[in-house]
Structure 1
């Protein structure tokens, strides 16, 4: 049976890939989700948070902007590689799902073999970024590939695949700290735990777009497990995430401005939960995408913390 192909809901026609990229590049840029950058932001922010928190813990006044740039490049490359790998593994499933049937592999825009080449090429970019850090960070970052490799199979085997995704998307909370300090510490582990909870929450919202197809295909999803209780579960996950972020900041010696930023972020996450309609795909997508604002607000709070410390040093 021929599957009706959906428009790309989270990549409007005005996105830069469809407007500006050479036509021959577009299938590969879509494969790497460069037309939908929200995932790269969500992968990047835990890196930036952790790096900045580690520098606060060390009492360093000036932020290492070189590391910020490296993490940005790495997040773009590894998100692209992970998405292409996921699409390769899920190509037969994606062809049966309305929202994903238009992806480059099931729609025939990119062959499975070419997709694997893309996976390897973008992973090499990520490796080149990681090699700029200390050896502990290099091996810590490489170890995340085990989690990334496991994720596409998680939904086939367990009812909570978002937990595996949480580990994959939150790994940067460990890597950022290690890049600065050469080891792991309790604040990084606490921050990582909060990020895992946050990821499970926002991806549960995202997964409600596919819950009917997931049920028909026998795939696991927290959207299916939580069902009509999603609002309560996501609210609890978000609340716990904020608590862990506050504890991480306290352990690292952050100041009041950071805690105020997390409090404001919790209000935004409360808005997500209070206005969530799990039966409306557009509503779910908008609330999922708004987590970029969560990430940015926490990062700005950390930047403000460092700026105030610098001004205090001048006094």
Structure 2
């Protein structure tokens, strides 16, 4: 198979990244981060989530973040799409009230992971999304689906590729326009990741798939390379590698957007993203959060 000519980066730093940060950045910082990211050329970004403040305090006031973005006069912001995570009907209703452009729901391919996180089976978790999908479809609100633990689970170890394919197919047939496949603990190796993708591709069109690789074991770029080689052209990543891996103490989490873009540019694959501006944004947010920059490219280019 040939590599795609273009790849869309879905920037998850302002949601999946910040929600795992111990500091709680204010609305102004979150908005500025998203504005800077759009200015670098990123067109699709997670802006936050509508979840209980008790469980994810970092994501409070996502409605204010969306309001600020909607009021922005920056052309780059106006042309971008901002999505929010809505794990239940209450979250969806809040997102609709805040005039969100897109919402996301998430499931997992591991029964143990699902039970420990939301106290139900995979099948029960998927059934809970029926009401969300029905309401979203009534107002033509796009829904993106996430599948976690697609290769390995912190509780039950290796996950069978066919199980991933089953969950992904269910979300796709439910109405999710795109399915993001997440290596939640970042333990997958390229051969394992490829085997998982081969199973999923049998059930879902290639153009409806994205990959979401964590870099806990330093395998993220290798797994993304394998995905590109198979023809996948959508990649989730987080500026400066924001976030962490709650299942592996001290480990890094999301793959850094700067590192992904650098690799893609070296492969002559178009992203529409300016790498220098991206690196500067990564350094800026790390200083704001008083944390180290997890992007190797960012640190090298700004050294």
TM over 0.5: no
**TM-score normalized with structure 1 length:** 0.30
**TM-score normalized with structure 2 length:** 0.31
Higher strand share: 2
